Chains A and B, each alone.
Chain A
């Protein structure tokens, strides 16, 4: 079996007493088709939680429940309870715009706005009123780009189109754009699937750094990636959360046969 490089300090990680986010008995339907069945998952703070599983098993669906992106799909219906810091995010009193600022997202395909690098990052803080003065805004943009590990590469051309960057740079720009609104959680849906190995390595490094300030949930189809970047792993199969736990345990001593088959590459 592959040598999983494991973070020693996370070997014994247990869910913190109060998880940052938690899904309880989450059922999701697209029309009449059920995509998730009674999922219970806690996302601990300042850790990277990886969602793995074969394609079509509902990883993205679960991820998109966490910032209510499923609201934008007419036929999608979410049941059950999902909380952020103990507060239900599907509560009618919750403002979905504010929720999405708190729970940011990076997508499978880098999707910068067709605007300049600066405008891409400045957009979020501007609409959420995070910066009152122009200097504040510039500071936020520079900080966010720095945190996303992109600043040094683009500082000379902040006013050039974001779509002119390479794929990996675009993805880091999208992460910077999410960081700029000071979220607490960042969701990433297969952020490296469109990138080459070098760009992927950079993003993985970045994810590890971001853990210090943010809570991260990442969907990945690469088990090596899950092993490299995450502290906790959840394995989905056919819409069911089969097993979740510390990454080390999921990869070395899974309880469920299906998990074992998947992590040893027997299907998927």
Chain B
């Protein structure tokens, strides 16, 4: 056994009170403080930018979460709506009559046109749907609340300035006067805008909603998950547990890592060229969107699964092998259960990325104008980010706030998914 050398110890002892020691200590403290300052500064900048983003979104978007409505009495005249076929009724005329009744004093054609313009163009469709679902309304007079059309909505929300000279605003003095009489009679009311979530897209901002986009994104993500989750896990298990270490597997590994860094628009081009042009799958369909997103998410899932498998302590693997567990038993009984929290978290974060992905979906045509949600994965659809893209491109004033509101809805879904990831991680992680 080697004896520790004690003879030179005293000579090598450091004088902690010497000038050099003191200046070294001071430098060390200063460096620590500097590093901490850089960190705090960096975080402050990040928080500030995030704050600016959210403030600007909320300050323009909050207007879209309410919608101005007008209350009016409609009379469903059996002359205009056949009892045996309510779908064939002349609802346009019924709405016009109802508006006329709101303004008993006006008679001129242009004045009446102005008055009808206050009510949304979709009013007749809403009324028609209501009567079809409840035919007993025929012959009755009842009051309904319908959205006002976009310029009046903006007027009521003070986005249109009533004091501007007439030629510089969307509504002329006459139109504003008509609207103000309704306000004075208490018929105008701003209500929560559920249509934003439950309506499909529309040319008219007051009717436009995200239902189609939400359903489209849901189908695409579902497909993306169904494909990329099992394929990704299987590929990762093979690469991590079975593949021999040679040049080929190295090549595959490098390529998978590169795939994760490929710009998403490339995947869109691939989807267009292969899925649509070669396989003849329908354009704009969530099917193609889901396939493209799956290709994009696959590398992410493979990488997180491999890392989670690598993170399982080797002693567990040895313990299982040591009592004669076969490879598949080691993997299925021991490695995967320990790796699954990491895999799930990574997968959800990958899915959240896929949810926000825009460019590839634009390329495969998921930015079509569609007034009803898709009925299945083969039908044309939009997605949340492409819907935002469409709205951002629309000239109507009402779409400005709706674009911000849609972004907030998308952010809401992203936060929800990340919260699920955090919950799953803390829930599934073995504490023992």
Question: Contact residues of A with B, CB < 8 Å?
Answer: 67, 69, 72, 74, 97-101, 104-107, 109, 111-114, 123-124, 127-128, 161, 163-164, 174, 177-178, 180-181, 265-268
Asked if residues A101 and B323 are in contact (CB atoms below 8 Å), the reply is yes
Which A residues are CB-close (under 8 A) to B320? 113, 123
- Which of B79-87, B166-174, B324-332, B388-396 participates in binding chain A? B324-332
Asked if residues B315 and A107 are in contact (CB atoms below 8 Å), the reply is yes
Asked if residues A100 and B324 are in contact (CB atoms below 8 Å), the reply is yes
Which B residues are CB-close (under 8 A) to A69? 318, 321-322
Closest to A106 in B: B322
Asked if residues A163 and B323 are in contact (CB atoms below 8 Å), the reply is no
Chain B contact surface mostly: helix
Closest to B318 in A: A107
Chain B residues within 8 Å of chain A by Cβ, number:
22
Which B residues are CB-close (under 8 A) to A123? 320, 323, 325, 333
Indicate whether A177 sits within 8 Å of B316 (C-beta atoms), given known contacts A114-B338, A114-B432: no
Nearest first, the 6 A-B pairs at minimum CB distance are A101-B324, A111-B315, A100-B324, A105-B322, A161-B432, A124-B323
Indicate whether A181 sits within 8 Å of B323 (C-beta atoms), given known contacts A74-B245, A107-B318, A113-B316: yes
CA distance A109 to B319 in the complex (A): 10
Which A residues are CB-close (under 8 A) to B316? 111, 113-114
Asked if residues B318 and A97 are in contact (CB atoms below 8 Å), the reply is no
Report the minimal beta-carbon distance from B247 to chain A, rounded to whole angstroms: 14
Asked if residues A174 and B319 are in contact (CB atoms below 8 Å), the reply is yes
B residues 129-147 near A (Cβ < 8 Å) are: none
Which A residues are CB-close (under 8 A) to B338? 114
From B1, B244, B325, contact of A265 by CB (8 A): B1
Closest to B322 in A: A105
Asked if residues B1 and A107 are in contact (CB atoms below 8 Å), the reply is no
Asked if residues B322 and A67 are in contact (CB atoms below 8 Å), the reply is yes
Which A residues are CB-close (under 8 A) to B329? 127
Indicate whether A178 sits within 8 Å of B323 (C-beta atoms), given known contacts A123-B333, A161-B432: yes
B13 at the interface (CB under 8 A from A): no
Asked if residues A72 and B432 are in contact (CB atoms below 8 Å), the reply is no
CA distance A74 to B242 in the complex (A): 11
Which A residues are CB-close (under 8 A) to B322? 67, 69, 100, 104-107, 178
B430 at the interface (CB under 8 A from A): yes
Closest to A164 in B: B432
Asked if residues A127 and B319 are in contact (CB atoms below 8 Å), the reply is no
Asked if residues A163 and B432 are in contact (CB atoms below 8 Å), the reply is yes
Which A residues are CB-close (under 8 A) to B334? 113
Asked if residues B432 and A107 are in contact (CB atoms below 8 Å), the reply is no
Could you list some 24 contacts between A and B, CB below 8 A?
A72-B317, A97-B324, A97-B326, A99-B324, A100-B324, A101-B323, A101-B324, A104-B322, A105-B322, A106-B322, A107-B315, A107-B318, A109-B315, A111-B316, A111-B319, A113-B320, A123-B323, A127-B324, A127-B326, A161-B432, A177-B319, A181-B324, A265-B1, A267-B1
Asked if residues A104 and B319 are in contact (CB atoms below 8 Å), the reply is no
CA distance A112 to B432 in the complex (A): 11
Closest to B1 in A: A265
Report the minimal beta-carbon distance from A73 to chain B, rounded to whole angstroms: 11
Asked if residues B323 and A104 are in contact (CB atoms below 8 Å), the reply is yes
B residues 220-238 near A (Cβ < 8 Å) are: none
CA distance A37 to B333 in the complex (A): 37
Which A residues are CB-close (under 8 A) to B315? 107, 109, 111
Report the minimal beta-carbon distance from B368 to chain A, rounded to whole angstroms: 51
1/0 per position for B326-369, CB-CB distance to A under 8 A? 10010001100010000000000000000000000000000000
